[in-house]
Structures are given as C-alpha cells and as structure tokens.
Structure 1
Amino acid sequence: MLSKMRAYGAICAFVAFLLAMAEPASAIQGGTVSKHGPWAVRVYIDGEPSCTGTVVAPEWVITAGHCVRYDNWDITFRVGSLDQRHGKVVRRVENGTVFASGADVALVRVPRLDVQPIGLGTGASVKVGRSVRSYGWGATCAPPRSEGSCQSNVLKQAQVTIVKHADKRCDLLVGTGDFCVQRGTGLPAGGDSGGPATAFDKAGREVLVGVLSASDRTEVASFGDVTRLRSWIKWVIRTGGH
C-alpha cells in the first residue's frame, strides 16, 4: 500500500508540474457545455475522476499514457453519458494497456462497449492555423482552489488553434510526437488529460486528431498527434498489441 501511495504521489506531482508551468487559469473556462460526444470517456484513478479518454474501437479507449501508467492503479472508465455522474462503469482488462512510442498516449483494452467509436483523422487535419475542438471534464476553477475540488460534472468543449511546433510558448510542453495549440474559446487543463482534440474531415465527420498531454493553463497546450499514430492504433486494435 505504501509503495502504491508513493507511486501515485510521484505521478500526480509530475502531472501537476506539466500542468502548472505558468500562472494557472481554469480548464476550458470560457468554453461551452458539450451537447455531443458519445465516444467521450471519463477516466478514474482509484475511484477519483482524474482524466478524459475516447472510445476508438468497441474494446479500446485511448487516453494519455500518464493517466494509466501503473498496473497497481485501479483504473475505471465511465462511458455512455456526457454527465460523469451517469453512464456505465467498466474496468480495464488486465495486461491490456499498450503505450505509444514517442508520445504520451496509451490504448487501454476494456470489455466490449455499446458505444459508437470515433474515427481517426489523417495528417491533413493537423495544420498550423487550423482550429480543432478540445473536450474534457476538467477543472472549472483556478488556484488557490484545488483542481480536484471543481472537476466539471458535464463534458465541456472549446475551440483551440494549432500553432507552430517551434512556438517558444510550447517549448516545455511538446515532444516530437505532439502538436501545440493556443487558447481559443478556452483551454484544456487538469482533468482533461487524455481528452480528445477533434476536427472535421472532408466528408463532414468529426474525427480524432489529438490526445491531450499537457497544458500551461494560460496560453498553450500539447496533444499527442493521433494522425501520426494512426497505423499503430489500428495495429493495436487488430492484434491487441502483441
């Protein structure tokens, strides 16, 4: 139990560092309550609402790697509702978590869900200057209040704009497998980790293009680029990652 608490404390401190490198502002504050997002998933760590995820296949949820890092964490998901107080609770399948290389992204196997998965975007969706939509159940308050005390009960969304990878505001947030966005109608932060960034393809379908990795809570956030991981995601879904 002690080692579990230490591991949990260490990862929470790490996530807090990533999400607090600038003077904070509320998560998706100024955004709107979402009326759509059947594939959105609330992620719980040891019973506490902690992250966001997305259903990409009937048995697979994609989220941030740091949200599901340790096997001794009790990871559960609530699916099928835009209100985190409702929906179905499912647990991850043992030994069914697969981590991407070069991005803070993980695929987590779950019992088969009766949820329509979101499609995967292509590279054409991630261009500098393009507006994408961020979703999450993250914090609705700013410090000194604790983010854990004000997680949104309802799914929220905000439009954010992709900026250059070399933008100096993004230096401490983005890796080679990420893209950076700047605040638009809002900005994701604590509790939104692992949440989706979406765009609309040429057919008008909303598709997944990013997985939230980190945010400075004031100006910019980083997303693991799903369009670069498209082949890996399909391979894991097909083979189980083995």
Structure 2
Amino acid sequence: ERFKSFTCSLSSATNRLLWSLFFYRPCVKRCGEVRSVLSVSFRIQAGASLLAVRPQDRSRWLLACYEHWQPTLGTRLCRHLGALRAVHQKGVKLTDVRVEDGQEFAQVGSSLADAWQIRSSCESGRVVALQCSACGQQTAPGGRVVGGVDAAPGRWPWQVSVRHGSRHRCGGSVLAPRWIVTAAHCVHSYRRRRALGWTVRAGVTRGSAEQEVGVPVERVISHPLYNDNSMDYDIALMKLRVPLNFSDTIGALCLLPSHQDLLPGTPCWVSGWGYTGPDQPQLTETLKEALVPLISTQRCNSSCMYAGELTGRMLCAGYPQGKIDACQGDSGGPLVCQDELAWRLVGIVSWGRGCAEPNRPGVYTNVAQLLPWIYHITEIY
C-alpha cells in the first residue's frame, strides 16, 4: 500500500471525475432531531459534478445542500483533494438533477471540519455542484537523470524547460495554465529573480526544439526563507504572461492531498534534460525519465548518507547503490508519484553529492511542507 487515509479515482481533463477524501474524526454529535457527523468522506460525482459526503458509518452517499455554502469551502475542498483551485461551483436545483428515491442530504457548517448535519431535504431546494482544476493525467504510457530512458511525448505533460535567454537552465512543473513551480536556486543568482529574460517551454521532449517558442514569464517569486547555503525552502513560482494551452502534451500536475502519507519505498519518477552522467557534462537532447523509490528521511539523514543535512523541507529518493539519479540541469524538475490514476508533485529536484553516487541519493524539496505558501502566492498574484 503506497498511501494511507486517502483515495482518489480520476478521469480525464474534462473533469468528469470522482474524487474522494477521508477524514478520520471519531466524533458524533446530536443536535435535537438532526444528527451531526464530523467524520465524513467527500466525492464529486461524474456528470453533474455534484458534491456528495458519506459518514464513516454509512454506506450511502449524501448530496451536499447549498445553504450555508461559501466559495472558500469549494477552494479548500479542492485543495484537500490535491487540485490547485476550484474552477466552478454553484447551487443546482434538485428539480434539474436526477435524485434517487430516499436520497438523503447533508448540510455543511462554517468549515469543512465542522459537523455535517444529515437531513431529509434541503431548505433551499439546491445542492452543491463543484469542479476542481483538472490535473495529473498522462496521454502516453508509461536534469539530472542518470541511468534513465527517453520519455515519450505526453508521458510527462507537466514537465517544462525553464530558460534564461536561449539556454535551458532548469526544469519546472505546470500547476495551472499560468503557474510554473521550480527550484529557488535556479533563479537566485545573477539577478535572475527578475522576470526579464525568462521563458518557459512546455509540451516538448527535445531540448533543442528551436521551433518551439517559449512563453514569457511575468513574475518570479522565490520562497522568502530560501537559504542558498543549506538549500532549505528551495522553491520558486513563475507566473506566465499568457496562459498555456492545455493539450495531449501540455497539462497540469496535481499536488498532494491533505492527510496523505508517503511511505519509504514508494516508486516515484524524476524527469529532465540534465546530465546523463557525472562524466558527461552536457545536457541531453531528449527528455529522460527514471524510476526512483522514496527513502525515509531518517535513513537519508544517517551518518552513512547525509549525516543530518536534510531539513523538514527536504526528502530523498533514489538507490543506496547509486546508478540512477537526477543530475545537473534537472534542477527544478518534478519528482512525481501516482495514486490511483492521478500523478502528484511530491518533490522538486534540489541538490545532491555528485550524480548517482553510492549512498548519495537525490535530495528534493518536500512540496507537501510548502503547500500553504504555494496556495498563498497563487491567490495573491
């Protein structure tokens, strides 16, 4: 089992998908004749995108009443599920949707963590319809990539080449049509934190595809706590001047959902155009991919590996024996893991000692620890 306390089944970018998230809060209240439940699962039903909840002790799903619903709840719920934002939410008349006989309903409190009251009907006569931003889908089966293989077009549609002038500088990942996430150390030096001169190329697998025009970057935001010596908080966001056009080869990557635990040994993938070996100091022509399992922070911080250099904003992936790793030029690129049908951004290529050296696995920015900052920046800019 790769993950605990979360399930999510996902379809294509049409957003005809089913999400479900489990909260384990063993607390039940009774308020008069209305039963209130804190421990519920959520899902967005296919078709009409109706939001449904299910108490832990029930087998049937309850439709969410629209009364007391706030747009901020939709945003929070989508983020709980790993999407960057809610793209559409509204109240739908019950007369306009298909409802089963004996269907029950649930009314939310002031927040998702509050008690959900089970009801036989909705006072407003409306239920919640919610769509989250689509992400984490591949169209092709399945840096610093040492020992990797060529990636097929559409295999990693969120992978981008972050360029300064005409040169590839780093990798990056698409979070939304106008948002790219990369490593702070990629933009920290040479006044590169200014947007001038930065472009992003998406949907390409060949690094020298000169016919591909890069999308100009409008704003570069590094994490304010980034430390160039320790590489702590190694994350930056780029806002594009114009949105990317999503297609079979360009798409967004999901973030991690709340309460999802990643276990050591979880198989993940790293991709990039970086060096293919420590003795091959030039970028590869074709996007490479490599399978690297997660390594526990305790083991990675042990005396035989990095001896305590990792902070809480870092994680490790790779092989103790070396041979497969990320390398120079892959920095800023994604470390992704899959749950059910969704791919999620787990790490950002950050640093290491050499490339594919024994007991020197790749070190990545731990994205889960920086989700509040990502949400904050993408909201205010």
Report TM bin, short chain. Answer: 0.7 to 0.9
Residue 75 of structure 1 pairs with residue 192 of structure 2: no
Structure with greater contact order relative to length (CA < 8 Å, sep ≥ 6): 1
TM alignment of 1:88-107, pairs within 5 A: 88-94=213-219, 96-99=220-223, 101=225, 102-107=232-237
Q: Which residue of 1 aligns with 2:260?
A: 124
* Letter paired with 1:231: P
**Which runs of 5 or more structure 2 residues have no equivalent in the other structure?**
1-142, 226-231
Q: Which residue of 1 aligns with 2:341?
A: 204
Q: Which residue of 1 aligns with 2:316?
A: 180
Q: Which moved more, 1:213-222 or 1:72-81?
A: 72-81
* Letter paired with 2:273: W
1:215 CA drift (Å): 2.0
What secondary structure does 1:93 align onto?
strand
| C-alpha distance in 2 between matches for 1:161 and 1:110 | 32
What secondary structure does 2:377 align onto?
helix
Quick check: which has more Rg, 1 or 2?
A: 2
What TM-score, normalized by structure 1, do the two folds share? 0.77
Contact map agreement 2:146 2:327 (CA 8 A) in 1: no
Q: Which residue of 2 aligns with 1:136?
A: 272
1:174 CA drift (Å): 2.6
Paired-residue identity, %: 25
| C-alpha distance in 2 between matches for 1:60 and 1:163 | 29
| C-alpha distance in 2 between matches for 1:69 and 1:179 | 21
> 1:54-112 CA deviation, whole Å, 9 max, x = no partner?
11111111001010125733322211212222333022214x42426452011111121
Q: Which residue of 1 aligns with 2:145?
A: 28
| C-alpha distance in 1 between matches for 2:215 and 2:222 | 18
TM alignment of 1:1-242, pairs within 5 A: 27-35=144-152, 36-70=155-189, 72-73=191-192, 74-86=197-209, 87-94=212-219, 96-99=220-223, 101=225, 102-111=232-241, 112-115=243-246, 116-122=251-257, 124=260, 126-143=262-279, 145=280, 147=281, 150-166=282-298, 167=300, 168=302, 169-171=305-307, 174-183=310-319, 186-201=324-339, 203-216=340-353, 217=355, 218=357, 219-240=360-381
| C-alpha distance in 1 between matches for 2:268 and 2:224 | 22
* Letter paired with 1:79: A
* Letter paired with 1:205: A
* Distance 1:120-1:151 versus aligned 2 partners, 3 A rule: same
* Distance 1:171-1:103 versus aligned 2 partners, 3 A rule: farther
* Letter paired with 2:207: Q
Q: Which residue of 2 aligns with 1:3?
A: none
Number of positions where the alignment pairs a residue of Structure 1 with one of Structure 2? 209
* Letter paired with 1:113: L
1:185 CA drift (Å): 7.0
* Letter paired with 2:338: F
* Distance 1:41-1:100 versus aligned 2 partners, 3 A rule: farther
| C-alpha distance in 2 between matches for 1:59 and 1:70 | 23
* Letter paired with 2:180: V
* Letter paired with 2:173: T
* Letter paired with 1:114: N
**Segments of 4+ in structure 1 off by > 4 A?**
none
Q: Which moved more, 1:31-40 or 1:189-198?
A: 31-40
Q: Which moved more, 1:58-67 or 1:215-224?
A: 215-224
1:172 CA drift (Å): 6.9
* Distance 1:48-1:84 versus aligned 2 partners, 3 A rule: same
